[in-house]
Amino acid sequence: MGKCVCIIGEFRHGAFRRVTYEVASEGRRLADALGVGVCAVAVGSGVADKAAELGRYGVDKVYVADDPALENYLAEAYVPVIADMVAKCDPAAVILPASVDGKDLAARLSARLKAGLAQDCTQIACENGAIKAKRPIFAGKCFGWCEWAEGALPVISCRPNVMDCMVPAEGKQAEVEKVSVSPAQTRSCVKSIDLDTSGKVELTEAEIIVSGGRGMKGPENYGMLEDMAKVLGAAVGASRAAVDSGWRPHSDQVGQTGKVVNPNLYIAVGISGAIQHLAGMGSSKFIVAINKDSEAPIFSKADYGVVEDLFNFVPALTEEIRKLKSSCS
């Protein structure tokens, strides 16, 4: 068995993304079960200054590749650098975020390491020293447990916002070892990315999502969802029907061919609850459905259901939330 559990951090725009802490916490739990330590691999521009903070989430040692050319993810540059760093760790398992970049990296890395890959996992377990990972199959209709043959290296990507983040141990620092990157490894790089930020909360990181479907009737009516999202500090999502109609950008689409999200609260407005939509949001912690059809399939998945015309209910609900928030502040 390898010497540690190796986690791969995701460092963007000068900070680790929250999912890095989830993955580190899960890495610590697995390492404790296996009786080994936790190593991290962190790649990016300016990451060396932040790497030690992973110690607060159970990481013992961080291997860091800090180079301006590694500011943005590019498989061609990241994969060989990370593969070398992972090999240095001699891991029993590699755990990384199942983000958009993370899933791409996981597939390429596992091929390079001749490892066995389980993508988008929601649980990791260890039974008698054997590692198992649970992942959705058949578009989230059911879950399967993956196991690895003896001697095979598990590479496990974890769905964001599912694994519990440990309470950070204040003041605890990880040991940091810098790894040099050769110019040949960074001869290609992404110079810049134009993000459509406009103050929007990123869907996959949002704690609350208000999502609208075909029942919204047109793009002009999404203003009422944006109002509610603003009051709740939420992101706005959409069903494919709304995206295909050109009412919302594809980056807002939740589902099998859109984004997989795991917020604490998902409010589905005028969405029927097709299996392909549920594949993207079915593991949200609380689901509220607002739909005028009491037979809509979304109600079988919802924790709270409101059978009502959304055009009456949504503005009234937003107003009530606003009142409640102002009375609390």
List of residues contacting ligand FAD (CB under 6 A): 213-215, 239-242, 253-258, 270-272, 274, 276-277, 280, 291-293, 296, 309-311
The strands making up 123-127's β-sheet, listed across from edge to edge, are 123-127, 130-137, 142-147
Identify which of residues 76 and 244 has a Cβ nearer to ligand FAD in the complex. 244
To ligand FAD, the closest distance from the beta carbon of 303 in angstroms equals 18
Give the tokens for residue 156.
Answer: 């496990």
Q: Cα(252)–Cα(220) distance, rounded to whole angstroms?
A: 16
CA distances from 169 to 22, 25, 47 (A): 14, 11, 20
Strands 175-178 and 235-238, by their bridges, are unpaired
**Rounded least distance, CB 113 to ligand FAD, Å:** 31
Question: Smallest distance from the beta carbon of 141 to ligand FAD, in angstroms?
Answer: 13
Nearest approach, Cβ of 225 to ligand FAD (angstroms)? 12
79 close to 105: Cβ distance less than 8 angstroms: yes
Query: Between 161 and 291, whose beta carbon lies closer to ligand FAD?
Result: 291
In the bound state with ligand FAD, the residue whose beta carbon lies nearer, of 52 and 274, is 274
Nearer to ligand FAD, 81 or 261 (CB): 261
Provide the minimum distance between the beta carbon of 241 and ligand FAD in the complex, in angstroms, as a whole number: 3
Contact 158, 124 (CB under 8 A): yes
User: Residue 13: helix, strand or coil by DSSP?
Assistant: coil
Residue number, 71 or 252, with CB nearest to ligand FAD? 252
Beta strands in 154-280 (DSSP E): 154-158, 175-178, 208-212, 235-238, 265-269
